[in-house]
Amino acid sequence: MSARNPGMKLDLEWVSKVRVNTQAVLKRAQHIQGRKLAKKQWQAAWLLKAVTCIDLTTLAGDDTPSNVHRLCLKAIQPVRYDLLKSMDMHDKGVTTAAVCVYPSRVADAVKSLKAANSSLPVASVATGFPAGQTPLKTRLEEVRMAVVDGATEIDIVINRTLALTGQWEAMYDEICQFREACGDAHMKTILAIGELGTFTNVYKASLVAMMAGSDFIKTSTGKEAVNATYPVAIVMVRAIRDYFLCTGHKVGFKPAGGIRTAKEALVWLTLMKEELGDDWLHPHLFRLGASSLLADIERQIYHYVTGQYAAFHELPMA
């Protein structure tokens, strides 16, 4: 991991001056989606890079120790060994970036990874995920408990009401408290962009979250009606770029929700490369929040290696 973002004093003047040109953002998003994507071995290499940036996630009401255990094994060996061997990548330590679970399942994930002798990080969604509507005291306690159980990354949700009503000081203060509760654990701040109304609001929320010391900003919980979209991502990554130019601190970006295909993963990597540069093409500054994306990437890699598509049962979950 690179040096963490220490945050800064809330600069309301900077926040109030923000104006986003919607048409320009939409045009740029269209341009990125229309780009020709890498083919053959270059595509396979990019797909493996995408795998190493995935936060492999399960956030279901019926999560159990056994499906969390399966998820952990898949995170450690995300692509079948024989496929990696034929690409000469079997000894390169290809794993996903982290495993992401509810706070009550952190201990299960830590135990499974430890038993497998893996140092893969466990991320946990805390702070009253996904709505963030529980009392602040409860949300802070949830962060602390997840950290005590072994989570080294915490995905928090902002209080959307504060962002929608322009209560930036209150939002900043809450996020600062979450950052303190995280201790050494890295904090990813979910903006729930589908519920913020405008691009300008998304940009402002991004800035405030970074000023409060977020290590990452993340698009969505995956539970809103609108999740990760390219236009919103452009707004957020430009806020990241402006914050970096102003402070010298690099903040990571995590799109999440609805990212299911290998092709989409390639578009996300292209977007990061073009907007923020190669430094942001690594798991310490870029994550893909996903649960079903890995299956499609593995399918495409299988096709690259064998020239045919795998039957569903040939690439099981674990």
Tokens representing 244? 């970096």
Kindly report, residue by residue over 95-140, the tens digit of the pLDDT: 999 999 999 999 999 999 999 999 999 999 999 999 999 999 999 9
The confidence score (pLDDT) of residue 38 equals: 85
Name the band, by pLDDT with cuts 50, 70 and 90, for residue 141: very high
Q: In this structure, are residues 120 and 151 in contact, taking their beta carbons and an 8 Å threshold?
A: no
Cα separation, 275 vs 269, in Å, equals 10
- Which tokens go with 285? 């500054």
Confidence of residue 226 (pLDDT cuts 50, 70, 90): confident
Contact in structure between 36 and 241 (CB atoms under 8 Å): no
- With 90 as the cut, is the pLDDT of residue 310 above it? no
Q: Tell me the average pLDDT of the chain.
A: 95
Residue 58 has pLDDT above 90, yes or no: yes
Q: List the catalytic residues.
A: 218, 254
Which pLDDT value is given to residue 54?
Answer: 98
DSSP type of residue 256: B
pLDDT for 1 equals: 52
Q: Which residues contact 186 (CB under 8 A, 6 or more apart)?
A: 1, 4, 152, 153, 154, 215, 216
Question: What is the reported pLDDT for 161?
Answer: 93
Q: Decide if 183 contacts 215 (C-beta within 8 A).
A: no
**Cis peptide bond N-terminal to 255, omega within 30:** no
pLDDT of residue 125: 97
Residue 63 CA, distance from chain mean position: 20
DSSP code string of 117-165:
T----EEEE-SSTTTT-S-HHHHHHHHHHHHHTT-SEEEEE--HHHHHT
Q: What is the pLDDT of residue 171?
A: 98
- pLDDT tens-digit readout, 31-54: 999 988 888 999 999 999 999 999
Question: Which pLDDT score is estimated for 317?
Answer: 60
Find residue 124's DSSP bridge partners.
101, 154
At residue 159, the pLDDT reads: 94
pLDDT of residue 28: 97
How deeply is 36 buried, as exposed, middle or buried, from its count of CB atoms within 10 A (0-12, 13-18, 19+)? exposed
Count of CB atoms within 10 A of residue 102's CB? 20
Of 205-214, 274-283, 309-318, the one with minimum mean pLDDT is 309-318
* 298-308 confidence digits (pLDDT tens): 999 999 999 99
What is the three-class DSSP state of 199? helix
Domains in the chain with CATH codes: 12-310 (3.20.20.70)
Q: Which amino acid is at 4?
A: R
User: Residue 153 phi/psi, 5° resolution?
Assistant: -140, 135
- 3-class SS of residue 305: helix
State the pairing for strand pair 98-101/153-157: unpaired
Percentage of the residues of the chain whose pLDDT score is greater than 90: 90
At 2, the pLDDT band (50, 70, 90 cuts) reads low
Would you state the pLDDT for residue 237?
98
- Between the alpha carbon of residue 276 and those of residues 170, 238, 271, the distances in Å are 29, 8, 8
* 173 has pLDDT over 80: yes
**For tokens 């979209």, what's the residue?**
229
C-alpha 267/C-alpha 256 separation (Å) is: 14
Cα distance between residue 245 and residue 237, in whole Å? 12
Q: Which two tokens stand for residue 147?
A: 């950290």
